[in-house]
Structure 1
Amino acid sequence: MITLRHANERGQADFGWLQTHHSFSFGEYYDPAHMGFSALRVINDDIVQPGAGFDTHGHKDMEIITFVLKGSIAHKDSEGNVETLPAGEFQLMSAGRGIAHSEFNPSSTETLHLLQIWIQPNTIGGQPGYQQKAFAVQTGLTPIATPDGQQGTLHIKQDATLYQLTLPPQTAHTLSVTAARQVYIHQVEGALTVNDVALLAGDGAKIRDENTLTLRNTGDSTVTALVFDLP
């Protein structure tokens, strides 16, 4: 079963310095029908104006993934990590028993576009951690975060795997789904069909009880999507 939610159905807010869309309930946006999916708790689609950002704030017991789509983000945290994350790279911050961080758009002219993703961990407490990596763009599914950090992936504290899907125009990829697993797809750009269900940028698909997924680019530009394999 594939349940589609269109981009314009998401929660949204405009703070001037930040324009944001929420795939799931977050902050002042609350919808009991969209509280998360399996261990996936948050997908925020944020546009941050030049020179603006999130002041220092704390997190605990959450796996927080940032994917920069345009621009760059300046990161600083209480564990001593001071990094810049450019477009195309992924960051995974394990909050563990507690971490404080700030995130800013360091550009004075260019907007920052990012996805912020929260996944609930399967262990609580422990030492906070920080990981950052650029992955080579390749056709099909590229593993980004895995439970054991295999093959140079980011190590996530959950029985979940995050893939980046890249499909050139008029190509397809088949994904086999393990029994009792669930899949969530967040469409980033391009025109994608999932078993003939059409997704455009910002759309999300909750997928249950499907053995095989045919992911097909039906448009004239490259498809980029995030695919979550979840318990």
Structure 2
Amino acid sequence: MEWRPRHYIKVTDYASKSVIKVLPADSLLDAANLMIRFKIRHLPVTDTEGRVIGLIGIRDVADALLKKGRERLEEEKVVDWMNDQPVKVSEDVSLHKAVELMLETGVGSIVITDDMDVIKGILSEKDVVKFLSVVPSIEAVANVASPISTYVLAGSSVREVLELMMELWSKHLVMSREGKVVGVISMLDLVKKALEDGLSAPADDAVKRTEVLPPEAPISLAAAIMVSKNKEALLVGRKEPDSIVTEKNMVRGALEVLSKL
């Protein structure tokens, strides 16, 4: 891709064009299975003409799971759980502006539409990480990582961990066993586990071991590892990890990188 200054890098240069979407009458179970199958956390909701009317996310699915149980997900409709005010931008908006908007609004995805609200793409945190993976940067990963303040204990149930994630407004937590870090749990993997084995199943099986980067590692390296190994989060530390960097953290890093271009 031809390199251009930040104001000329359009959101469509890095957004996903082949968008997986759902209809308002689709079941929440169908939406959840699409997220799990394609390893994505947000699905635009459109009418039959392709116009965007909402956004359904993995957090919405987790909320329904906890309140209704997995047996009811097939009966629950997307329209009853979606966000009907998704953040939208036009195709000519710069990537810098879109990333800035993601941080200002706290959303994990921005929907790209034309003048008629017909969907043209979606920019997710994962897409922003892909941008960082191809842009040289000496910004240290420690500058965007978050200290690990809460640990999930081994043996916790899927319900317990999902409830904690909802309380902390987090999609990723670190599990420890006997004082040692085991790995990272994502909300997406927990939802998958809940659908397969129920909310009372142990969350341990959803834990994924991940790389531990030194604090001085550049965020471009962290992004490249995330993309190549399909990781939503990495750990940061020396002898023992003391921080975590998620795709959401990387959005902050992207704004810094874009501001310097």
Scaled by the length of structure 1, the TM-score of the pair is: 0.29
Of structures 1 and 2, the larger Rg is shown by 2
Q: Which has the higher helix share?
A: 2
> Per residue, is there more strand in 1 or in 2?
1
Output the TM-score relative to the length of structure 2: 0.27
